[in-house]
Amino acid sequence: MAFVRLAGVYDPDRHSAKRFVQSAKTQFALAFPWKSDTALSAWRDWWEDKEIARGQTPSEAFLWSLVSAQVDELDSILQNAAALQKLNVRFNRAIDEALDAYCAQLRWQDTNTSAPPPLMTFAEMRDKFFPHFEKWIDFLIGQKGTSLPVTKHRIVASLIGAAYKKQIDIAGFTEQQWTNVVEFVRRPQDLAKKLGCEWPLSKGRWDGQRGYRAQMNAAHSIIAKINAGDAS
């Protein structure tokens, strides 16, 4: 879980952030994951001086991308009463409870390393998923969609996680594909309709036809269609 918080740090030179970065290194041997200066600069500019950046919202954005990459795996945990009891979490269909369950499962995996992990391992998160996340931030926020509002962070995160699950390499995206991605982030319902998909307007719930599970699954379909050139 410390890694999720660390990934959300957008200005490692701020006093509180600097203390946390050092604490993560000392206590957990965690290095600051951002390697690309341009990606970190884009991440910082996106969040800096924004009211929404107070608290842990940037870290939640990274967490959201992880959940989007593993929406089915998390749903299996949430539908398993024994698994929830083991994690000592409650789930009454709310999205915040779903995120709590995901985090609880990560903590459980950290201390039960001999059991097969139902969610992404720390090694995969650090060595594969975060570089993927960083590349997306560099391209989408830093180069292609510099005017995207930070209030769209959940849609951006959903796409990042979906692209990871679909093993989509954005390095080969055409300008038209990037235009479609940016257009989707700005007006998701319009682009979804153009692609023959639906973008559910979720209202705080995980499951159901209008839940965030359905919205994340829609992100999977939409990024696959953009990747295939269906929106050109």
Taken in order 65, 201, 10, 141, is the CA torsion positive or negative? Answer: positive
CA distances from 94 to 39, 67, 108, 155, 208 (A): 32, 14, 21, 18, 11
How far apart, in Å, are the Cα atoms of 48 and each of 31, 42, 147, 150?
Answer: 22, 10, 14, 10
Buried residues in 148-168 as b, exposed as e (16+ CB within 10 A): bebeebbbbbbbbbbbbbeeb
**Which residue(s) pair with 205 in the sheet?**
94
Which residue in this structure is represented by tokens 């952030």?
17
- Contact of 7 with 122, CB cutoff 8 Å: no
Q: Tens-digit pLDDT profile for the chain (232 aa)?
A: 789 999 999 999 998 899 999 999 999 899 999 999 999 999 999 999 999 998 899 999 999 999 999 999 999 999 999 999 999 999 999 999 999 999 999 999 999 999 899 999 999 999 999 999 999 999 999 998 678 999 999 999 999 999 999 999 998 899 999 999 999 999 999 999 999 999 998 889 999 999 999 999 999 999 999 999 866 5
Cα 117 to Cα 9, 110, 131, 213, 218: the distances in Å are: 26, 9, 21, 21, 26
Residue 205 main-chain phi, psi, to 5 deg: -110, 155
| Beta pairing partners, 94 | 205
Kindly state the helix (H) or strand (E) to which residue 123 belongs, with its residue range: helix 122-124
For residues 27 and 2, give the distance between their C-alpha atoms in angstroms, rounded to a whole number. 10
pTM, full prediction: 0.95
Would you call 205 helix, strand, or coil by DSSP? strand
